[in-house]
Structure 1
Amino acid sequence: MAGSERAKMAAGEWYCCLDPELETLRITARDAVFEHNSLPPRQRGDIGPALRTLLGAAGAGARIEAPFHCAYSFNIFLGGRVFLNAGCTVLDTASVRIGSGTLLGPNVQIYCAEHHKEAAGRQAGLEIARPIEIGEHAWIGGNAIILGGVRIGDGAIVGAGAVVTRNVAANTTVVGNPARPIRRG
């Protein structure tokens, strides 16, 4: 794996997302997501079997509603009683860690991937992956977008539709685009 595009992605370096190995991993994740989204709710349980197997971790009581989408799934780490509502997308090119008791509203989007600023770099498929961490007992409102490299502290609230481009301190409420604090502590 040394020097591979997957290794570069994991190291937070520029890598080519068009790499065949990465495409194979994305296909595996798409198959697991398809199963998760297609199973009847009682049969699926909290997380579809194939998706649960691929996730980096899923604590007790973690639940992902359908429909759901992710890029790889092995970079997603869910604490206990984490809840992802319907329509969430996690582009997990880097680690996405969501602490216990955190709730994500419908259609929350988590984007670790950042494309190259130059057109030629984008055409070549160059991306860089930045991790995202959401602390415990946070609440992310519906349609919020969280960009790579962001840490959201314990107990924080992200208002519906907010675009989070910077870290959010613990017990702080942020709203807007870009998200700005309206309440602390």
Structure 2
Amino acid sequence: MTTKLPAAFSPEVLAQFSAKGRVELLRPYVPVDPRFAQVEEGIRPRWYVVEIKSREVEKELAKRRFGIYVPETVETIILRGRKIDRATPMIGGYVFVFLWETDANWQRLARTYGVTAILGWIEDEEIDRLRFEENCERLSPVTRAAIKRRVMRGIKRLPAQKRKQRRKSRRATRARLDSKG
């Protein structure tokens, strides 16, 4: 049994491409694999604080093979007359991403849909403290707010050209254009 190639891959069609185009088509596809991550001497991996739009972005970052950490706490809610324990993020809207600061890794992180800002990095000791507090007990909302303030104060800010700027929403852009004309 022979497999018939689509007409787009016939020798006549391929012959119409330039030499540069044929070379590009012959190049094999290489998926992003963390084992091929760009690791350089003298660069320490760090935990970066990343602002995200929704919890779905966490799944997307994990799918792209980033090491992520989302500290969670258990809270009791009343739903339809029943008490339910559920895990909620300790610091809502933020994820900690572990990566080496290389151009390839940085581009992959910055281009992930739903990442609104990369705020900076924090020390490993702060992550260890968060893990300890996460495993201790149920945290009150006041304690969670204090933890969030402490973490946000401890961020080592990135230079302005390296930070991913917030994207303007389409609605805001459209409203601005409508007001001009």
Quick check: TM above 0.5? Answer: no
Structure showing the higher helix proportion among its residues? 2
**TM-score band, normalised by shorter chain:** under 0.3
**TM-score, normalised on structure 2?**
0.24
The answer to which structure, 1 or 2, has the higher relative contact order (CA under 8 A, 6+ apart) is: 2
> Which has the larger share of strand?
1
